[in-house]
Amino acid sequence: DAVNLYVRRVAGGERIRLTDDAAFKDDPSFSPDGDRIAFARRRPAPARPEICVIPTLGGRAIPVITDGRTPVWSPDGNHLAFIQVRRGEPEALAVAAADGSEMRILLKADAVNPFFNRLVWSPDGSLVAFSRSGGGVAQEIWLMPSAGGQPRRLWQDPPGVVSADPVFTPDGRGIVH
């Protein structure tokens, strides 16, 4: 079944249907200025996942990144961080310009942590926090400089504790998860 995107003003009014096709859409992310929405789209098999950008109040969805999911906008609205998922390759944490150009891999998954999950930019755009996993529900929060560099695990959870879905505090000094 298709999943489509809709928007509605928080103050009320009718919802606006943004997409109308057979593809599955996931992980919508508003640009900081509110004018665009980035989202992941998977067409019926055997197509590859892609990241698209669509105007918030309707228009054509433009594919900007192939083999990507979970897009999030940089605070300045000029870049997208996302998870690259290419068949036969490890997942990767990547960044590209909002039009899909200048794509850079920040970190490739490894045998210990083959999966990336939710990502978020720091308010100043210098860091990307993300969940990493070895599989199952167990996840940990990691930090990565958005310009590239060494990843850093923030802490190691005790058995039975799961840290996921990081969100920076507005001042960028803390992470809620």
**What are 134's strand-pairing partners?**
none
- Tens-digit pLDDT profile for residues 23-53: 889 999 999 999 999 999 987 666 789 999 9
**What are 119's strand-pairing partners?**
130
Q: Are the beta carbons of 94 and 141 closer than 8 angstroms?
A: no
Question: What value does the mean pLDDT take over residues 136-159?
Answer: 86
Angstrom distances, CA of residue 12 to CA of 7, 8, 15, 34, 116: 11, 7, 9, 17, 36
Give residue 18's identity as a one-letter amino acid code.
L
Q: What is the pTM of this model?
A: 0.90
Q: Are the beta carbons of 75 and 32 closer than 8 angstroms?
A: yes
Q: Quick one: pLDDT at residue 45?
A: 67
**d(C-alpha 64, C-alpha 52), whole Å:** 5
Of the pLDDT bands very low, low, confident and very high (cuts 50, 70, 90), residue 3 is: confident
